[in-house]
Amino acid sequence: MVDYENRQPPEGINLGGVHPLRSFATLLVAAAVLVTGLVVVAQFAGAFAARLVPFATERRVVQGLDIAFGDAPADDPMRMYLNALAVRLAPGLDLPHGMILSVHYQRSDTVNAFATLGGNLLFYRGLLERLPSENALATVMAHEMAHVLHRDPVAGLGGGVASALVLSAITGSVGTGAAGDALSRTGLLTGVQFTRRMEARADRAAAVAVAGLYGHLNGAGTLFETLAETRSASHDRPGTPRWLERFVATHPLDEDRVETIAARARELRVPVTGPLTPLPDGFEDWLQAAPD
Amino acid sequence: MEQIGLFVLLLIVGYAFGRMAERRHLKSLIAREHEMNALPAIASRFPPTDRAYDQRLVSGSVVIASDHFKTFVSGLINVFGGRVTPFESLIDRARREALLRMKTEAQSLDAAYVFNVKYETSRIGSGRVPAMEVLAYGTALMASRTAAGD
């Protein structure tokens, strides 16, 4: 008769011998290094390649898309004033020949202004109505113009697309679980280090232009002081340490930007005091004017 | 910050409770496997021909779910490749538990053997923490009373 038996196999033959915490730590460090390294390379490569596109081509492509920036027509007094201010600031930024800018105006409560592709700048009423002087407005304007000068919008797009491709290639293999989320966040955190550098560079260039126009930097930091107050009144998180805020923020912190302006004034040997230039007569009416 | 804190908490809870449950389960498996060793579970399709046997399908199944720690580590392993060690212990325990449950059913039938033993697995969890069923089934052979009476 055939004899059948089940022998007890030795324990552990189907198990990995590495301690789970050790493999966890090794994998976490390796994945963070991999994602950070690849996103840095992708950001640099994407931004470099995008900046090779001539500005004239970029502007032509954007014009061809026929995007409506803002709701104010070209003959709107606010929009005309903003464009005139950009023209006054241009010499201080050494804008190259052919770099044409268009400033647009949107009547909404958003507290923001930004530069985007094709040399287009958009200012929101929510921001303009918080500015106490032309000096503060000129600082924002020069900052956004500096982004165009540095080709930051197109570089940001190129770097962003390249790093998003890299991230999707990596996180695609791990699915949308917690590991995928953690790697995506690592990649995004790496990405914001680049945008913050762009912002800091634009701040420095803006200080030169504003100092060139007014001869001093009084009022340049007012905007950031106002924004800091607005933020602390709305969604500031008292539990978040400043070093962490600095690390995760897309822009330098308001207090750092005020300090940058002061440091820049010392470098440029321009005073931080001086007469403030008032906003033009009718500015308040232009703010409230209804769109045509 | 809150999200990161919750995520770390889930990892710690997953690791601590997962390890504790795993150790306890392994201890129980080893003890029950020793008890059940007298009832052989054989993969062969050909039953012994020394005498007549009654046959009955027996099965045992178990559903296992991963924890946040195992799922997270296995996700990271997917980036680099290699053995997905966090799931190896989980699947090993599930397989052994399913077999023991099948044997328990066979034992209740006074079976002498279980032949043609097979395993099947199917993923049943589609959420962020995967779950899987392991099913063990086979043919229990009981000494035929009819044949013995002839």
Distances in Å between the Cα of A223 and the Cα atoms of A137, A186, A226, A264 are 8, 31, 5, 16
φ, ψ of residue A62 to 5 degrees: the values are -65, -40
Instruction: Return the pLDDT at B111.
Output: 95
Whether residues A34 and B79 touch (CB distance < 8 A) is answered with yes
φ, ψ of residue B61 to 5 degrees: the values are -135, 160
Residue B69 tokens, joined: 């720690």
- Provide the 10 A C-beta neighbour count for residue A78: 23
Average pLDDT over residues A220-240: 67
Beta strand A120-124 with A102-106 is: parallel
A15 pLDDT higher than 80: no
Q: Which of A108, A149, A155 is nearest to A128 (CA)?
A: A108
Q: For residue A73, what pLDDT band results from cuts at 50, 70 and 90?
A: confident
Of A5, A178, A237, the CB nearest to B68: A178
- End-to-end alpha carbon distance in chain B: 78
Q: Are A126 and A107 in contact (CB under 8 A)?
A: no
CB < 8 Å to B40, chain A: 4-6
Instruction: Return the pLDDT at A175.
Output: 63
| Cα–Cα distance, A72 to B47 (Å, whole number) | 88
| B35 contact A CB<8A | no
Instruction: Return the pLDDT at A88.
Output: 94
Whether residues A6 and B128 touch (CB distance < 8 A) is answered with no
Instruction: Return the pLDDT at B33.
Output: 93
Of A5, A23, A174, the CB nearest to B75: A174
How many angstroms away from the CA of B35 is the closest CA of chain A?
11
Q: For residue A241, what pLDDT band results from cuts at 50, 70 and 90?
A: low
Of B10, B33, B85, the CB nearest to A8: B33
B interface test, pick of A7, A13, A21, A24 with most B CB neighbours within 10 Å = A24
Burial class, A204, CB count within 10 angstroms (exposed 0-12 / middle 13-18 / buried 19+): middle
Whether residues A244 and B68 touch (CB distance < 8 A) is answered with no
Whether residues A24 and B128 touch (CB distance < 8 A) is answered with no
Interface of A with B (CB under 8 A): 1-2, 4-6, 8, 11, 14-16, 18, 20-21, 23-24, 27-28, 30-31, 34, 170, 173-180, 182-183, 237, 239-240, 244
What confidence tens digit (pLDDT) does each residue in A193-228 have?
888 888 888 988 999 999 999 998 888 887 777 777
DSSP, collapsed to helix, strand or coil, labels residue B54 as strand
Whether residues A174 and B76 touch (CB distance < 8 A) is answered with yes
What is the secondary structure of B62-127 as a DSSP string? EEEE--HHHHHHHHHHHHH-S--HHHHHHHHHHHHHHHHHHHHHHHHTT-SEEEEEEEEEEE---S
| Cα–Cα distance, B33 to B41 (Å, whole number) | 11
Average pLDDT over residues A182-191: 83
What confidence tens digit (pLDDT) does each residue in B7-45 have?
888 889 889 998 899 899 999 999 999 999 999 999 999
**Mean residue pLDDT across chain B:** 89
**Which helix H or strand E contains A140, and what residues bound it?**
helix A134-149
DSSP 8-state assignment for residue A290: P
φ, ψ of residue A284 to 5 degrees: the values are -60, -40
How many angstroms away from the CA of A177 is the closest CA of chain B?
6
Q: Which of A112, A107, A121, A138 is nearest to A214 (CA)?
A: A138
Average pLDDT over residues A121-149: 93
Instruction: Return the pLDDT at B137.
Output: 98
| Beta bridge partners of residue B120, listed in sequence order | B135
Of A4, A14, A176, the CB nearest to B92: A14
Considering Cα of A222, then A226, then A231, then A232, what sign does the dihedral take?
A: positive
Q: Which of A102, A119, A156, A136 is nearest to A207 (CA)?
A: A136
What confidence tens digit (pLDDT) does each residue in B82-138 have?
888 888 888 999 999 999 999 999 999 999 999 999 999 998 876 667 888 999 999
Q: Are A35 and A41 in contact (CB under 8 A)?
A: no
Q: Which residue of B has its CA nearest to A2?
A: B48
How many angstroms away from the CA of B44 is the closest CA of chain A?
11
In this prediction, what percent of chain A has a pLDDT beyond 70?
A: 90
**Mean residue pLDDT across chain A:** 85
B150 pLDDT higher than 50: no
A interface test, pick of B8, B17, B66, B79 with most A CB neighbours within 10 Å = B79
Residue A132, amino acid: P
Whether residues B80 and A27 touch (CB distance < 8 A) is answered with yes
Whether residues B85 and A23 touch (CB distance < 8 A) is answered with yes
B3 pLDDT higher than 80: no
The answer to whether the complex's ipTM is over 0.85 is no
**Which helix H or strand E contains B132, and what residues bound it?**
strand B131-143
Whether residues B76 and A27 touch (CB distance < 8 A) is answered with yes
Whether residues B75 and A24 touch (CB distance < 8 A) is answered with no
Instruction: Return the pLDDT at A290.
Output: 60
Q: What is the pTM of this model?
A: 0.75
| Cα–Cα distance, B52 to A32 (Å, whole number) | 64
Instruction: Return the pLDDT at B1.
Output: 66
Q: Which residue of A has its CA nearest to B10?
A: A178
| Cα–Cα distance, B128 to B68 (Å, whole number) | 9
A273 pLDDT higher than 90: no
A275 pLDDT higher than 50: yes
Q: How far does Cα A102 stand from its chain's mean position? A: 19
Residue B8, amino acid: V
Q: For residue A34, what pLDDT band results from cuts at 50, 70 and 90?
A: very high
| B73 contact A CB<8A | yes
How many angstroms away from the CA of B41 is the closest CA of chain A?
7
